[in-house]
Amino acid sequence: MLREAETEAEERYSRQIRFAPIGAQGQRRLGEASVLVVGAGALGASLAQHMVRAGVGRLRLVDRDYVELSNLHRQTLYDEEDAEAALPKAVAAAAKLRRVNGRARIEAFVADVDRRNAESLAADVDLVLDGTDNAATRLLLSDACFSRGIPLVYGGVAGSGGMTALLVPGDHCCLRCLLGEEAPGGEDGPTCDTLGVISPAVEMVAALQAAEALKALTGNRTALRGTWLTVDAWHFSVKEWQLPTPVERCPYCGWGELPVAVRREPAEHGGFVRLSVNGGRAKERDEAKAAFLGDAAEGAGADTLLGGGLREATPENASIANSPRITTENALLGDEREAAKLVVLCGRDTFQVALKPSVSLAEWRRRLVAAGCAITADNRYLLRASTAADERIVIFAEGRALIQGAGESERAMDIYRHYLSDETRREADEPSVGF
């Protein structure tokens, strides 16, 4: 059986093995590697496909969104059936990837990456690939990667151009030090909703990200660029800047003046040196980080969250998301705090809000129909409804909703209050009038 698997691998990856910098040894390293891809949209779908086709042994894929018709021109893992069924991107992508490479272990999570689960998602991987669409998540990924000594391959695309860089803890500064608290593509920055986007730009940036990932995972560290690269597929331009070294006083990339003991561990893959904090001083490290960020440290022990609450998406597991005790602040969500929970996603016309996950999708269906909504998609992962004004409400099983088509945050809040708030739920059996 072992010989049969080796023969299959030799055939499947024969052209890649013949590429001298990878060879048989590099291919074995890929088979032993674990990679986290955050975001399964345009960049993330392409990155996930590159990793699985290249032979990465384990891929963890996380995304908070679902497939829509407007995704299909650039998000290569999805088709019209996925959009018609409104499947979560992580679920649809995992299904396709398993058909591409049945020996790869694909872990799919329908979840919003936040400060409570970012470090746990990155806890046991060798490399993180950024396929996200917003500054806040990218900064959290940078924090998690530099805390654990894991290389982060940053990428972003809008219009016909994009940018990418491989940030290696110990060699380069973190994303917060490189870009400040607001990375490009933030709420006020360019996005595909404001500039549009073309597929060749996505594939160009994804290819550059994937190439650096393959170098790192196969031990070709001397081949890494060590630069911040911007490209434009339409006008064809390429610009490159050397990446800065760590900033000494930064609690993520510097470590220089923190009251912590740091030990260096030999990396298992890629020749990287892992930085890890001595367990006895982790509290001081977390306090220093909290002071650096200007807020209190959040969350329980991150290392326990994957096993205890964040569950992989499988056909047998319909509630494939985060358990309420670790992923949302739903118990604190009241009318007085709802504005703080409304988050703008990739552009101006999709808003996200936390709900109480104790309410089942079947119950949400009943309440939305009673409130005058039309159900346009209903599966084990999510429920999508249309209001009388043709705005969309998408409720995920984990206790999270998207409000689409509202235009402005004020209107989104009106929709939330009318259809989703606690007060509305108490009145769910009453008929809807003139909203």
For the chain, give the number of residues: 435
| Residue 228, CA distances (Å) to 155, 171, 172, 191, 341 in order | 10, 14, 11, 19, 34
Torsion angle defined by CA atoms of residues 131, 134, 136 and 141, in that order, rounded to the nearest 10 degrees: 10
CA 27 – CA 157 distance, rounded (Å): 29
Digit-coded pLDDT (tens) for 223-250: 999 999 999 999 999 999 999 999 988 9
Given its phi and psi angles, is residue 366 left (phi above 0), alpha (psi -120 to 50 degrees) or beta? alpha
Higher-confidence residue of 382 and 7: namely: 382
**pLDDT given at position 347:** 54
In this prediction, residue 430 carries a pLDDT of 53
> For residue 413, which phi and psi values (nearest 5 degrees)?
-65, -35
Q: Which residues is 232 bridged to in the sheet?
A: 161, 237
Please give the pLDDT value at position 72. 96
Q: Which amino acid is at 408?
A: E
Q: What is residue 421's predicted lDDT score, i.e. its pLDDT?
A: 84
Q: What is the pLDDT of residue 60?
A: 97
Residue 193: closest CA among 114, 133, 244, 152: 133
State the CB neighbour count (10 A cutoff) for residue 11.
Answer: 8
What's the pTM?
0.81
| 61, β-bridge pairs | 37, 108
Nearest to 51 by CA among 28, 75, 34, 72: 34
Q: 43 pLDDT band (50/70/90 cuts)?
A: very high
Domains of the chain (ranges, CATH numbers) = 2-293 (3.40.50.720), 328-426 (3.30.310)
| Average pLDDT along the chain | 80
pLDDT in tens, 120-179: 999 899 999 999 988 889 999 999 999 999 999 999 999 999 999 999 999 999 999 998
Considering only the C-alpha atoms of the chain, give the largest distance between any 2 of them, rounded to a whole number of Å: 70
Separation of alpha carbons 186 and 344, rounded Å: 10
What pLDDT was estimated at residue 297?
A: 33
The answer to whether 132 touches 141, Cβ cutoff 8 Å, is yes
Q: What count of other Cβ atoms lies within 10 Å of the Cβ of residue 234?
A: 11
Q: How confident is the model at residue 275 (pLDDT cuts 50, 70, 90)?
A: very low
Does residue 252 contact residue 277 with C-beta atoms inside 8 Å? Answer: no
Average pLDDT of the residues in 278-295: 45
Mean pLDDT along residues 359-370: 94
For the stretch 51-85, pLDDT in tens is: 999 999 999 999 999 999 999 999 999 999 999 99
